[in-house]
Amino acid sequence: MKKDLIVFAAHLDDVELAFWGFISTHYDDYDKIKIIIATDYVPKRKVWTENLERMKDYISATTTPHRFDVIEYTNLGYEARKGMTDFDNIKDDFYKLIDFNKRFDILTHDDKDCHTDHFALNKIAMGMYKYANRFVTVYSPSSTHFDANYWIPLDDSQWNLKKEMCVKYDIKKEQSYSKLGYYLESEEHWNIGKSYQMESFVHTDDKYYEVYRIIKWL
């Protein structure tokens, strides 16, 4: 029996933007990848549902024998941007979904993330730190400081799928106060790891990178 990966993300679209590199690189290490998204947002639901199927298709197409049932998805149904207000309820729901009889890794947001929903989820997930084999946080362009220590290269098929999934979201439906900083439209944001990687790892040179921070790795 393998372990599970628990992906704990705040919003519909977070997984495609910042978690996909880890998922699409490591899926075969896991029995189940349990994607738990804390908030719902009706204008994004259709795109997310389609993207989820694309990710499942990617995994089934690249496993032998084909694995069709790796990803499970749960939405906790809270309102976006109210993660701090709903903190204890999200925490309670999340902890009740944990199977403590199983070994698991956690992939979630980083605590230096400026989005309060992202920050709240990191703090909630940290409660499971002692039970997790591995605890990894994702880089988001909205992080102030990020002590990245894990660069994951994306090959063309991983990158192309990421790009196709991200462009389907409509920036005009974003819940932004300023309407500035269009992370959903920018390849520079999606390929956030590349410039760091070029400078620090001179002997490897892939075109696309996502960056993560390993907090714990057993």
- Told to check if 192 binds Zn ion by CB under 5 A, we report no
- Told to check if 110 binds Zn ion by CB under 5 A, we report no
- Told to check if 134 binds Zn ion by CB under 5 A, we report no
SS3 content of the chain, % helix, strand, coil (to 5): 40, 25, 35
Measured from the CB atom, the residue of 101 and 144 that comes closer to Zn ion is: 144
Tell me how far, at minimum, the Cβ of 13 lies from Zn ion, in Å.
7
113 CB neighbour count, 10 Å cutoff = 26
Is 16 in contact with 166 (CB distance < 8 Å)? yes
- Told to check if 10 binds Zn ion by CB under 5 A, we report yes
Measured from the CB atom, the residue of 119 and 197 that comes closer to Zn ion is: 119
| Binder among 14, 105, 110, 210 for Zn ion (CB under 5 A) | 14
Long-range Cβ contacts of 101-104 (<8 Å, 24+ apart): 102/1, 102/3, 102/4, 102/31, 103/3, 103/4, 103/133, 104/3, 104/4, 104/5, 104/6, 104/131, 104/132, 104/133
Of all residues in the shown chain, the one whose CB is closest to Zn ion is 11
Query: Contacts with Zn ion: how many residues (CB under 5 A)?
Result: 3
Measured from the CB atom, the residue of 78 and 197 that comes closer to Zn ion is: 78
List contacts with Zn ion (CB under 5 A).
10-11, 14
